[in-house]
């Protein structure tokens, strides 16, 4: 269930009270317009009582009004239930008596006009509006976890990973608004709403406006005092840069619990804003300081673009969870593993290293970090959980478990023309040493498989025509694909579960071990194509530790992760066994390549997947959408009917990842 409280006023994001105009004292996160701009300041909502049962005169649909969600200068916001569908909305109810003047009604109409055209995952959804004799009713998306202001009021400050998580979503929503040539003009914690899935939604478009040419920009001073930019205060007009400034104030407030320009009186606050004068405590990471300083540049032209913000070191060199637990609303998250996973890796470490002394020595050496990373390390010491491929309507699907240790990750800057983001490559042989060449699978053979898949994909992309949708062909599938995965390569390796419930681990020393669906048989690959088979209960002594880790990987994924799509399971025992050759991570996707040429790419941002496999001597492509629904068609079909630009873009990105790996091997 999703929720919004799109209201004109939300509680403060924290901090002291400040003197407002007219000698009134109110919340520093409160929105208002400066006296002299043609409107009085409204500090309370004296809306008339609203009936419990409300009927839309136009449709006859009846609604039941619930509890108050918030109050504003002109309106109150309530929970509202559609009595026909039982769907819950956030309803902004505005008494006609509060918008009796023409310019006041025009303001409401403008808000409705702007908001109803918007449709984005990180923007509060507008559904419907109507009015009766007493009120205007605006029905919007309902967000059950209240706003960021409420969260920060309870939490006081947020951790760096949480700030990255929320800021990425704000930037996504804000980028959409700017592309629609809409300025929000009131970005603050009270206008960021959180739904039951802990997704952030940008809301409250009461002050939003169309972007105008520089010479025609609005000179009105409006917004929230602590978040106003210098150019707005100086009546130079609003532009996208003013929203960037407010975003800098938001980031500062999240990290430190108070706005950057907050003082005990409004006049001093304005002076600090005009001079861009604020403090950056030493407790902040260097990259966080740098990003905040760039967004709070006095000159609007010196501020970064939204794309530059998410490409900043604060994001690219730090851990960003793909999902947060709801406990983050009131308690700082623990980025260590919680229960079954924590026990799993504790036991696995004991199995590998034997006694406490050996284990402690290994972990101490392994976790040594450069001095500048000590602050980060304290936040997420040890293992961190990063749910990379969860679906929007499900608590979990694929899962990545990630750590901070830089010594374990080979970081390469990809060719910007092809990739445009940082590639984090963790492949066979890069995370451990092999005592002999026979212990590691041959890179040349891996390169052959990768080259073949790359050639097939490249040929298809070069010849397929453009189309508006993906092909309608639907064929039966008879290949295996990865439904779950766990990244613990900082210590042991990369684990995954196939659609037939085979569990595999690509260990850091280059060996691969599979636990077959019967949970009794183990396949061990020390060299490409050479497989040792033995019962799990009778593992050779040299493999006992690895079998133990394999079992715990299997248990963890079975108990804690959900499948990533609706493709049927394939249980053909005559089919050659799959094992992972290599995998590659970028900031946008995870790539996995198997020995039979099966090639899978999972995209983080919308949780979609593409899988290319050889089926009956012909390549097929499977696309799994955001709702975990799959479509499979022959690549030859793409050459005839073409594919959508969205699918083509994903295929091109997948090819670039594969070519990047091929170049590295070469």
Q: Which residues are annotated as a binding site for ATP?
A: 92
Question: How would you class 28 by CB atoms within 10 Å of its CB: exposed for 0-12, middle for 13-18, buried for 19 or more?
Answer: buried
Q: What three-state secondary structure class fits 386?
A: strand
Q: Which residue shows structure tokens 């793909």?
A: 322
If DSSP codes are grouped into helix, strand and coil, which group holds residue 591? strand
Q: How far apart are CA 20 and CA 583, in angstroms?
A: 57
Distance of CA 400 to the CA centre of its chain: 13
Ordered DSSP codes for 95-160? EGGGG-SHHHHHHHHHHHHHHTT---TTBPPEEEEEE-SSEEEEEE---TT-BHHHHHHHHSS--H
Cα end-to-end distance, the chain, whole Å: 50
CB of 620 within 8 A of CB of 464? no
Q: Exposed e or buried b for every residue in 625-649, given b needs 16+ CB within 10 A?
A: beebebbbbbbebbeebbbeeebbe
CA distance 335 to 387: 11
Helix, strand, or coil (residue 268): helix
> Maximum Cα–Cα distance for the chain, whole Å?
85
In angstroms, rounded to a whole number, what is the distance separating the alpha carbons of residues 126 and 115?
6
Rg (CA), the chain: 28
Rounded-to-integer distance, Cα 122 and Cα 141, Å: 11
Question: Rounded to an integer, what distance in angstroms lies between the CA atom of residue 378 and that of residue 319?
Answer: 13
Q: Give dist(CA 50, CA 178) in Å, integer.
A: 36
3-class secondary-structure state, position 415: coil
What is the dihedral sign for C-alpha 303, 306, 312, 314? positive
| Residues involved in catalysis | 186
CB 116 within 8 A of CB 140: no
With H, G, I as helix, E, B as strand and everything else as coil, classify residue 32.
Answer: strand
Q: At what angle do helices 544-560 and 339-353 cross, to 10 degrees?
A: 180
Beta bridge partners of 624: 609, 630
- Between CA 496 and CA 558 the distance in angstroms is 11
Q: What is the separation of C-alpha 442 from the centre of its chain, rounded to a whole number of angstroms?
A: 36
Q: 636 in helix, strand or coil?
A: helix
Distance between alpha carbon 104 and the CA centroid of its chain, in Å? 38
């Amino acid at each position: 269930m999703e929720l919004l409280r799109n209201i004109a006023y939300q509680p403060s994001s924290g901090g002291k009270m400040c003197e407002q105009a007219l000698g009134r004292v109110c919340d520093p996160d409160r929105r208002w317009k400066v006296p002299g701009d043609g409107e009085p300041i409204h500090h309370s909502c004296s809306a008339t009582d609203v009936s419990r049962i409300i009927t839309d005169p136009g449709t006859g649909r009846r609604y039941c009004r619930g509890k108050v969600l918030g109050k504003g200068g002109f309106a109150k916001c309530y929970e509202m239930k559609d009595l026909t569908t039982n769907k819950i909305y956030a309803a902004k109810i505005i008494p006609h008596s509060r918008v009796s003047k023409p310019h006041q009604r025009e303001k409401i109409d403008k808000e409705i006009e702007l908001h109803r055209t918007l449709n984005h995952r990180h923007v509060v959804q507008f559904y419907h509006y109507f009015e009766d004799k007493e009120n205007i009713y605006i029905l919007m998306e309902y967000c059950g976890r209240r706003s960021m202001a409420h969260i920060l009021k309870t939490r006081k400050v947020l951790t760096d990973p949480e700030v990255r998580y929320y800021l990425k979503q704000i930037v996504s929503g804000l980028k959409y608004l700017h592309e629609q040539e809409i300025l929000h003009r009131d970005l603050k914690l009270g206008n960021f709403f959180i739904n039951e899935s802990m997704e952030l939604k940008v809301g409250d478009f009461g002050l939003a406006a169309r972007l105008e040419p520089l010479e025609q920009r609005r000179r009105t001073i409006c917004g929230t005092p602590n978040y106003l930019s210098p150019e707005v205060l100086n009546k130079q007009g609003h532009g996208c840069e003013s929203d960037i400034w407010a975003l800098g104030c938001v980031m500062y407030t999240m990290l430190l619990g108070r706005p950057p320009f907050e003082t005990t009186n409004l006049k001093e606050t304005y002076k600090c804003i005009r001079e861009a004068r604020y403090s950056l405590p030493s407790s902040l990471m260097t990259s966080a300081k740098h990003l905040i300083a760039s967004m709070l540049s006095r000159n609007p032209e010196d501020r970064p673009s939204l794309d530059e913000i998410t490409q900043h070191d604060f994001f690219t060199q730090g851990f960003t969870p793909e999902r947060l637990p709801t406990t983050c609303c009131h308690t700082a998250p623990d980025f260590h593993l919680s229960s079954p996973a924590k026990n799993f890796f504790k036991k696995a470490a004991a199995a590998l290293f034997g006694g406490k002394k050996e284990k402690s020595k290994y972990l101490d050496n392994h976790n040594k970090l450069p001095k500048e990373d000590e602050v980060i390390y304290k936040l997420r010491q040890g293992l961190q959980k990063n749910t990379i491929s969860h679906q929007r309507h499900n608590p979990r699907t694929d899962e990545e478990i990630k750590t901070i240790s830089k010594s374990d990750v080979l970081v390469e800057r990809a060719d910007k023309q092809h990739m445009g983001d940082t590639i984090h490559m963790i492949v066979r042989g890069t995370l451990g040493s092999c005592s002999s060449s026979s212990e590691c699978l041959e890179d040349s053979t891996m390169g052959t498989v990768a080259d073949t898949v790359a050639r097939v994909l490249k040929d298809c992309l070069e010849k397929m025509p453009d189309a508006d949708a993906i092909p309608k062909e639907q064929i039966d599938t008879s290949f295996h694909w990865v439904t779950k995965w766990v990244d613990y390569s900082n210590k042991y390796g990369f684990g995954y579960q196939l659609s037939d419930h085979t569990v595999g681990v690509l260990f850091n020393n280059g060996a691969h071990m599979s636990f077959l669906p019967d949970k009794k048989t183990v396949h061990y690959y020390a060299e490409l194509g050479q497989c040792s088979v033995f019962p799990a209960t009778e593992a050779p002594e040299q493999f006992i530790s690895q079998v133990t880790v394999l079992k715990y990987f299997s248990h963890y994924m079975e108990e804690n992760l959900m499948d990533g799509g609706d493709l049927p399971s394939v249980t053909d025992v005559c089919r050659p066994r799959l094992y992972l050759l290599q995998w590659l991570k970028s900031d946008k996707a995870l790539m996995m390549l198997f020995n039979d040429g099966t090639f899978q790419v999972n995209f983080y941002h919308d949780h979609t997947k593409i899988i290319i496999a050889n089926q009956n001597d012909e390549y097929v492509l499977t696309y799994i959408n955001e709702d975990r629904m799959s479509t499979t068609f022959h690549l030859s079909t793409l050459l005839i009917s073409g594919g959508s630009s969205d699918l083509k873009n994903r295929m091109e990105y997948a090819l670039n990842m594969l070519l990047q790996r091929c170049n590295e091997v070469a």
